């Protein structure tokens, strides 16, 4: 059975892997950042990657599908940014997502964004975005989730929007998500990598060929006053801090002692730490984002590797969401029959065989 979906604002494809694990077929993807193209195409060989700006792609050029997934750029909503939201060009890319939904009319969509978009100052923009999704023909559910509850060894809060086409007569229920038996820790994720990371070359250029484990290199250099404004070390028996889209803000490896509080917004490294203070390697960050080790990141500047990894949706979070969507739409013969009729009515070129 083909369950063809389209991926927008794909990044390196963490969400895509999660959906593929849940038996969806990612037929077509779009990513405009040229620094990501090699990584995406190597790791998703069965997906066509469209490299153009989404604003220049007519809806008719995108394949018919049963679902659209993706995370429009989040910088304009970030709590650490200017929070310009919908007034920023990147914020308005949400509307490109809605444009494509209106035309393609898939059975479902999923969009991911940072927690900052739930800030009170964005209430009006948030209402307008939900109204636009509803006007496109979808019953919309959204919730702030912490990835650590879904088999991801990381505190990572993100807003997830999921819409089911109104003709399905159902709504995504976040209570249906299955959480893990416990929160995975740094020890669970990266203990076996603890002695094998290598520092990047001068100017933080990759030394990938010298890494026994692919991408297992860490950024070197100083730490800003902002970085030193709070503790950056989590111990082995806890989940990681959020993996951010920048190497200079990568958490410190858990081998080091917790930093020492030296006053308001000031922390220092413990001079008595038995192990050095070094950033997590790109591979360690990828593990924490639940990418498999056979997912290879291609870059010349290590900063580009950290950016790809930090911007991704954790694979296991995507998988948890995709499993519920799959169950809602396909796991029962009655639903399969209804969905086949609906797909025909929505003019999607998809053949569904009922087993």
Q: Is 149 one of the catalytic residues?
A: no
Spatial distance between the Cα atoms of 14 and 25, rounded to a whole number of angstroms: 14
CB within 8 A of 247, min separation 6: which ones? 204, 218, 219, 279, 282, 302, 303, 305, 306, 307
Query: Which among 12, 74, 285, 348 is annotated as catalytic?
Result: 74
C-alpha–C-alpha distance, residues 221 and 267, integer Å: 17
Alpha carbon distances (Å) from 317 to 147, 151, 153, 158, 177? 6, 7, 11, 10, 10
What is the rounded CA–CA span in Å between residue 84 and residue 121? 9
> What residues are paired with 157 via a beta bridge?
146
Task: For the chain, give the number of residues.
Answer: 355
The DSSP line for 257-317 is PPPEEEETTEEE--TT-SS---BPPHHHHHHHTT--TT-----SBHHHHHHHHHHSPPHHH
CA distances to 240, 287, 289, 323 from 21, rounded to whole Å, are 24, 17, 15, 9
DSSP single-letter state for residue 252: B
Give the residue among 122, 65, 111, 81 at the shortest CA–CA distance from 329.
65
- With H, G, I as helix, E, B as strand and everything else as coil, classify residue 115: helix
Q: Which long-range contacts (CB under 8 A, 24 or more apart) does 230-237 make?
A: 230/265, 230/267, 231/258, 231/259, 231/261, 231/267, 232/259, 232/267, 233/257, 233/258, 233/259, 233/277, 234/186, 235/186, 236/185, 236/186, 236/187, 236/191, 237/185, 237/186, 237/187
Catalytic residues: 74
């Amino acid at each position: 059975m083909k369950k063809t979906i389209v991926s927008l604002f794909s990044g390196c494809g963490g969400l895509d892997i999660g959906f593929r694990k849940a038996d969806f077929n990612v037929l077509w993807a779009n990513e405009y950042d040229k620094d990501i193209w090699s990584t995406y195409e190597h790791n998703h060989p069965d997906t066509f990657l469209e490299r153009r700006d989404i604003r220049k792609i007519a809806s008719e050029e995108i394949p018919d599908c049963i679902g659209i997934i993706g995370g429009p750029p989040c910088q304009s909503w970030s709590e650490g940014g200017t929070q310009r939201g919908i007034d920023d060009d990147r914020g308005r890319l949400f509307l490109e997502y809605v444009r494509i939904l209106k035309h393609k009319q898939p059975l479902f969509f999923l969009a991911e964004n940072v927690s900052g978009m739930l800030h009170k100052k964005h209430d009006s923009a948030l209402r307008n975005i939900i109204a636009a999704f509803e006007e496109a023909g979808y019953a919309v559910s959204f919730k702030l989730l912490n990835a650590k509850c879904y088999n991801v060894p990381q505190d990572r809060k993100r807003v997830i929007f999921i819409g089911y086409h109104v003709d399905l007569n159902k709504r995504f229920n976040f209570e249906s998500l299955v959480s893990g038996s416990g929160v995975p820790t740094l020890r669970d994720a990266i203990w076996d990598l603890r002695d094998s990371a290598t520092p990047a070359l001068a100017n933080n250029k990759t030394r990938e060929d010298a890494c026994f484990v692919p991408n297992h290199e860490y950024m070197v250099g100083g730490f800003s006053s902002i970085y030193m404004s709070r503790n950056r070390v989590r111990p082995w028996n806890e989940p990681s801090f959020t993996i951010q889209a920048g190497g200079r803000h990568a958490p410190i490896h858990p081998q080091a002692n917790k930093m020492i509080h030296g006053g308001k917004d000031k922390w220092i490294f413990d001079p008595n730490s038995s192990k050095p203070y070094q950033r997590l390697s790109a591979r360690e960050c990828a593990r924490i984002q639940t990418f498999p080790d056979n997912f290879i990141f291609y870059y010349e500047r290590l900063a580009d590797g950290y950016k790809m990894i930090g911007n991704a949706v954790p694979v296991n979070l995507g998988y948890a969401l995709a499993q519920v969507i799959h169950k809602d739409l396909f796991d029962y013969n009655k639903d399969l029959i209804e969905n086949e009729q609906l797909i025909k009515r929505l003019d999607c070129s998809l053949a569904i065989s009922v087993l």
